[in-house]
């Protein structure tokens, strides 16, 4: 270990204790990747602070020494956001306290390392729940959800993380602690809380998060409709949305996904000969809910559904959902690696884009499976492959790139919930003009003038240089 690294280790040890500074190669490998396959980066050190004060002390120390850092939650991110190339990783997993649950005002104050599913468990005795439910909820942290503006199947009706955060305390990259939003009233001034959400660790570290909670709906109904063509399923989605009923969730799985799920331990009883299934859920007041179910069922039948099944009890419901929630897990078992892609198209473009994706997959000889939030037009085309085979990797990347461009051309975007991170950097210029990217860079500089917080992510570096050159008079 060289002298400056040793001195840094010592200084960090003084703040958090020797046990919480990781510097040995064997320890660092646990932090050299996230949920994005095919990328690895080795951090300089990993430090695990145990309190808000320790986070600030660590960040201040790194600021004094001009050292870049990467905040990290559970490392389930799918865009490479928590990869740290020679930067210091600040792991937030020890910050798992739920400071308070105010059932009357439906708000909870939590630390960033609280796991999404444990928050759900903690608030359920109050008849409340936290709406954003990423499929990774058993592992991912609320801090990571805030940083990525995470979504999930139930975001169709209830919105994404942005819509459920009241306030934040943030440790800025120079170590100063600031508050954004308000946990007790309406926010006044700029929406800094909204600006911070989705900033992917580039604006500082969220140390305290006030999340809004919702009352558990009185009743829930879940339907499974199966179709002999993907286009019919997509038509049903449009028809349902057009009725004015906002389903709690409206998810689609194509045949490859159905077959992978049914061949796995997560088999949910989906018909394996269907071209696509639609999983729809409505919730709310019990009264009138069956009317909504009938309308949705009719929409599916009119669009050509072969069969519509309505879950008869909670166990049946859970089983229908298990297939969807574990679809990535089932797909991951087909081959050593799985790219979980994320893009959005206008809802009316779903049939067209699904056909295009199918064609692109065939042309590159890769197996694309689609399992996605159809109600939002948020696609997840996934490819199972072997990342150690360079030729196969090459084909997978080329196919993904074409798929991304097809989504952009359809009027969509390159990510609906997984973030830009490293993986999508290359597409940012296809989506935004140079002045737009430059404006993003200048906003980033307000938070982090030295660009030490999660450097090299979200906005391509050269976009920022252009801004500095052309707009600073």
Ligand X SMILES: Cc1cc2nc3c(=O)[nH]c(=O)nc-3n(C[C@H](O)[C@H](O)[C@H](O)COP(=O)(O)OP(=O)(O)OC[C@H]3O[C@@H](n4cnc5c(N)ncnc54)[C@H](O)[C@@H]3O)c2cc1C
| Contacts to ligand X by CB under 6 A | 34-35, 70-78, 81-82, 92, 112, 134-136, 140-141, 143-145, 147-148, 150-152, 200-201, 205-206, 328, 417-418, 454
Shortest distance (Å) from residue 277 CB to another protein: 21
DSSP annotation of 453: B
Q: How far is the CB of 140 from ligand X (least distance, A)?
A: 4
CA triplet 362, 364, 368: central angle to 5 degrees? 60
Q: Which stretch binds another protein (CB under 8 A): 69-77, 270-278, 313-321, 425-433?
A: 425-433
Which residue, 264 or 454, has its beta carbon nearer to ligand X? 454
Residue 115 DSSP code: B
Looking at the Cβ atoms of 70 and 320, the one nearer to ligand X is 70
Question: What's the CA gap between 67 and 187, in Å, rounded?
Answer: 34
Instruction: Go through 254-280 and write b for each residue having 16 or more CB atoms within 10 A of its CB, e for each that does not.
Output: bbbbbbbbbebebebebbeebbbbbbb
With CB under 5 to 8 Å by kind, the binding choice for 382 among another protein, ligand X, none is: none
Q: Which structure tokens are listed for 102? A: 């105010």
Residue 47 CB, shortest distance to ligand X, in Å, is 14
Q: How far is the CB of 453 from ligand X (least distance, A)?
A: 8
Q: Does 155 bind another protein (CB under 8 A)?
A: yes
What minimum distance in Å lies between the beta carbon of 440 and ligand X? Answer: 15
Among 36, 46, 55, 197, binds another protein (CB under 8 A): 197
Three-class secondary structure of residue 377 per DSSP: coil
Cβ proximity to another protein: between 82 and 392 the closer is 82
The residue among 199 and 463 lying less far from ligand X, judged by its C-beta, is 199
403 is a site residue for another protein (CB under 8 A): no
* Candidate segments 120-128, 319-327, 363-371, 420-428, binder of another protein by CB under 8 A: 420-428
Distance separating the N- and C-terminal Cα atoms of the chain? 45
Q: How far is the CB of 138 from ligand X (least distance, A)?
A: 9
Instruction: Please report, as residue ranges, which positions from 362 to 381 form the binding site for another protein (by CB under 8 A).
Output: 373, 376-378
HSE-CB at 434 with a 13 A cutoff on CA atoms is 9
Q: Convert 342-389 into a string of H (helix), E (strand) and C (coil).
A: CEECCHHHHHHHHHHHHHHHHHCCCCEEEEEEHHHCEECEEEEECCCC
How many other CB atoms are found less than 10 A from the CB of residue 139? 15
Binding another protein by CB under 8 A: which of 131, 345, 366, 422? 345
The CA distance from 49 to 36, in Å, is 25
135 touches which of ligand X, another protein, none (CB within 5 to 8 A by kind)?
Answer: ligand X
Q: Which of residues 270-299 bind another protein (CB under 8 A)?
A: 284-289, 291-292, 295
Span interacting with another protein, options 18-26, 62-70, 99-107, 352-360, rule CB under 8 A: 99-107
Joined together, the tokens standing for residue 430 give 């296809």
Q: Among 66, 104, 125, 390, which residue interacts with another protein (rule: CB under 8 A)?
A: 104
Contacts 24+ apart (CB under 8 A), 19-24: 20/47, 20/48, 20/49, 20/50, 20/94, 21/45, 21/46, 21/47, 21/48, 22/46, 22/47, 22/48
- Could you tell me how many residues make up the chain? 473
Question: Residue 217 gets which letter from DSSP?
Answer: P
By C-alpha distance, which of 238, 282, 279 is closest to 258? 279
Q: Is the four-CA dihedral 109, 114, 116, 120 of positive or negative sign?
A: negative
- Least Å distance, CB 460 to another protein, is 11
Q: How far apart are CA 431 and CA 247, in angstroms?
A: 30
Single residue of 66, 125, 190, 390 touching another protein by CB under 8 A: 190
Does position 134 interact with another protein (CB under 8 A)? The reply is no
Residue (325 or 373) nearer to another protein, CB: 373
In angstroms, the CA 77 to CA 99 distance is 25
Listed in sequence order, the residues at least 6 apart from 232 whose beta carbon sits closer than 8 Å to its beta carbon are 275, 276, 303, 304, 305
94 binds another protein (CB under 8 A): no
Judge contact between 116 and 132, C-beta under 8 A.
yes
CB of 197 to another protein, least distance (A): 7
Q: Which does 455 bind (CB under 5 to 8 A by kind): another protein, ligand X, none?
A: none
Q: Which is nearer to another protein, 185 or 391 (CB)?
A: 185
How far apart (Å, rounded) are the C-alpha atoms in residues 392 and 404?
18
**414 contributes a contact to another protein by CB under 8 A:** yes
Taking the complex as a whole, how short is the minimal distance between the CB of residue 6 and ligand X, in angstroms?
Answer: 26
141 binds, among another protein, ligand X, none (CB under 5 to 8 A by kind): ligand X
Give the x-and-dash track for 235-254 against another protein (CB under 8 A).
Answer: ---x--xxxx-x--------
In the complex, what is the shortest distance from the CB of residue 307 to ligand X, in angstroms, rounded to a whole number?
Answer: 27
Residue among 195, 171, 207 at smallest CA distance from 63: 171
- Least separation in angstroms between CB 196 and another protein: 8
């Amino acid at each position: 270990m060289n002298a400056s690294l040793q001195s840094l280790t010592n200084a960090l040890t003084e703040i958090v204790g020797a046990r919480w500074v990781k510097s040995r190669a064997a320890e660092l490998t646990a932090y050299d990747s996230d949920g994005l396959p095919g990328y690895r980066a080795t951090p300089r050190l990993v430090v695990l602070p145990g309190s808000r004060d320790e986070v600030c002390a660590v960040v201040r120390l790194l600021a004094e020494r001009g050292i870049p850092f990467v905040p990290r939650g559970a490392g389930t991110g799918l865009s490479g956001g928590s990869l740290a190339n020679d930067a210091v990783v600040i792991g937030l997993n020890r910050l798992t306290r739920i400071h308070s649950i105010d059932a009357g005002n439906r708000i909870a104050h939590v630390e960033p390392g609280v796991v999404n599913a444990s928050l759900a468990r903690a608030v359920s005795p109050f008849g409340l729940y936290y709406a954003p439910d990423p499929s990774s909820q058993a592992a991912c942290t609320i801090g990571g959800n805030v940083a990525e503006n995470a979504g999930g199947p139930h975001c169709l009706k209830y919105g994404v993380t942005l819509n459920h955060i009241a306030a934040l305390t943030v440790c800025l990259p120079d170590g100063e602690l600031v508050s954004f939003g308000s946990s007790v009233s309406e926010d006044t001034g700029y929406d800094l809380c909204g600006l911070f959400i989705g900033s992917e660790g580039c604006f500082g570290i969220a140390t305290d998060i006030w999340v809004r909670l919702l009352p558990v709906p009185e009743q829930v109904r879940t339907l499974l409709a199966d179709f002999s063509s993907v286009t019919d399923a997509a038509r049903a989605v449009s028809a349902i949305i057009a009725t004015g009923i906002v389903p709690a969730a409206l998810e689609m799985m194509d045949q490859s996904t159905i077959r992978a799920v049914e061949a796995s331990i997560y088999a949910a009883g989906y018909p394996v000969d269907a071209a696509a299934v639609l999983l729809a859920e409505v919730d709310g007041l019990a009264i009138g809910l069956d009317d909504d179910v009938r309308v949705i069922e009719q929409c599916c039948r009119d669009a050509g559904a072969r069969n519509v099944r309505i879950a008869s009890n909670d166990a049946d419901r859970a089983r229908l959902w298990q297939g969807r929630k574990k679809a990535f897990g089932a797909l991951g078992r087909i081959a050593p690696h799985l790219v979980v892609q994320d893009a959005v198209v206008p809802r009316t473009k779903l049939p067209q884009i699904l056909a295009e994706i199918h064609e692109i997959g065939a042309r590159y000889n890769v197996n694309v499976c689609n399992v996605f939030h159809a109600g939002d037009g948020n696609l997840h085309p996934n490819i199972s492959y072997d990342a150690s085979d360079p030729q196969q990797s090459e084909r997978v990347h080329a196919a993904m790139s074409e798929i991304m461009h097809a989504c952009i051309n359809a009027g969509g975007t390159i990510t609906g919930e997984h973030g830009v991170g490293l993986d999508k950097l290359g597409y940012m210029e296809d989506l935004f003009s140079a002045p737009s990217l430059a404006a993003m860079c200048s906003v980033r500089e307000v938070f982090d003038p030295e660009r030490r917080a999660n450097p090299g992510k979200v906005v391509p570096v050269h976009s920022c240089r252009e801004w500095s050159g052309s707009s600073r008079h």
